[in-house]
A and B are shown apart, each in its own frame.
Chain A
């Protein structure tokens, strides 16, 4: 124990030097032994003292300097000997508080707070976050909407020049059949001669056909979605074979269970003999 302490002592002397407070605490008490938590280290030091005094006289010099220095207590530290630093700090409140300014430099005392600046910096970040969230949400939601290939099939151009008067052409548009009928003068007269009040779904022929020569209808029965047959039925128009709905030459429901007229899609005549459905 003694030899270990004496061998360790010279290396311990130098780090002790700047620690005036701790050194004074130890040295003033001497070999009495600590009554507080640091009793073990105190014992070690006292053992080192005695060992150096009696066995190794060449070590006396630094110890003497060390002891004489510690005997003059330093007033500015104002730490009572033997008091732990936390206790000393609690018992001596001071206005000269020193913080660790290693990477956070203090403003001079009395400076106004930079709270607004910090908040506006955070606001700039929140602008970016809000934009990002909006972008991501829109990307995901719009990725579920109709794609370009579907949109490309959404409208259909039909060449009308090859359709004879009085004949019906069926084209496929958005997965459904579309009837394009070139009506004759008799057909138009027949369609306009109907008493509207007798219809289940009253609609004049002028509402259903932009150009009375051309009638464009979606070929889906309004009853249960069957495909009516052209040039059939009691009214010269269409006849649904599923449950016997009769449509007239304007596509209006006349007889049978269907509740409404045949639907007219949105269409427009582009130029000479060109029809755009959709």
Chain B
């Protein structure tokens, strides 16, 4: 069971290897695309974490925002 799962995982990696890493141009494209997507994903995750840790502290959360202007 365990070895079968490992073999299937290795088979998946082998298949991806055959698709992606046969040509260096394809591989470089994959690296660039993966870097871009990974950057987006990490950005999104860290932003979510930030929002979660700072609920109600952001500039948009100020309740009296935009009320000073009417006074003058």
A residues at B contact (CB < 8 Å): 112, 114-117, 119-120, 123, 126-128, 130-131, 134
Contacts and interface: CB of A to CB of B under 8 A. Distances in A.
Interface in B27-61: 27, 30-32, 34-35, 38-39
Nearest to A125: B31
Interface of A, helix, strand, loop or mixed by DSSP: helix
B35 A117 contact: no
B31 A114 contact: no
Contacts of A116: 10, 13-14, 16-17, 21
A198 to B, nearest CB: 51
Given A119-B17, A123-B27, A130-B32, 16 more contacts: A116-B10, A116-B13, A116-B14, A116-B16, A116-B21, A117-B10, A117-B13, A120-B16, A120-B17, A123-B31, A127-B34, A128-B35, A128-B38, A131-B35, A131-B38, A134-B35
15 contacts: A115-B17, A116-B10, A116-B13, A116-B14, A116-B16, A116-B17, A117-B10, A120-B16, A123-B30, A126-B35, A127-B31, A127-B34, A128-B35, A130-B32, A131-B35
A130 B32 CA distance: 7
A115 B16 CA distance: 12
Contacts of B39: 131, 134
Contacts of A112: 7, 10
